Amino acid sequence: MRRIFKPAVSALAAAALLGLAGEAFAGAPAPAGPPPPPNPAIAKMNWLAGTWRSDGPNPIQEAFTPVGENELVSTLKMTRGGRTNRYEMRIIRAEGDKITFNELPFGGDLKPTQGPPTMTLVSSDDKTIKFDNLSYERTGENTMTMTLMIPGPNGTSNPSKINFTRVSKFAN
């Protein structure tokens, strides 16, 4: 397994995390009381932590932080023809009694684009995480398949499967 952070992915992840930290330091009120207890369903998703790269000529890189405060934060970078054409900031979080997946997409020029609606967790176990139109399946220690349901005509949808290999892990 390679353990090299690509500068662009590392920079994107750092910018996203710095943005979150900036909000925390910008006068947002401190949460009252102790942190919420760990959500078992979110804790099972910690296998996603690390940087993943897809197979194929138009690579996708996705980086997930380890689980913390009942959420996973991730960034995604898509390229086509050697140029970045999409970035995404993503959060999987426990909200009350449900777990949601939220995405904030940007074009390759970093201008915001229309994102999908919030997705709700349908099911999860030690190998599979399934949201309304998106799932991750762990296929090996450092491999996974992401399946995205692409809307088609007349209310149909077609699965798009993308295979990923973990290229780095976070230190414990």
pTM: 0.79
pLDDT tens figures, 2-61: 444 444 444 444 444 445 444 555 566 776 778 778 899 999 999 999 999 998 889 999
User: What would the DSSP string read from start to end of 42-95?
Assistant: HHGGGGG-EEEEESSSS-EEEEEPPPBTTEEEEEEEEEETTEEEEEEEEEEEEE
pLDDT tens figures, 69-121: 999 999 999 999 999 999 999 999 998 889 999 999 999 999 999 988 999 99
CA 66, chain centre distance (Å): 11
Hey, what domains does the chain have and what are their CATH numbers? 7-23+37-168 (2.40.128.20)
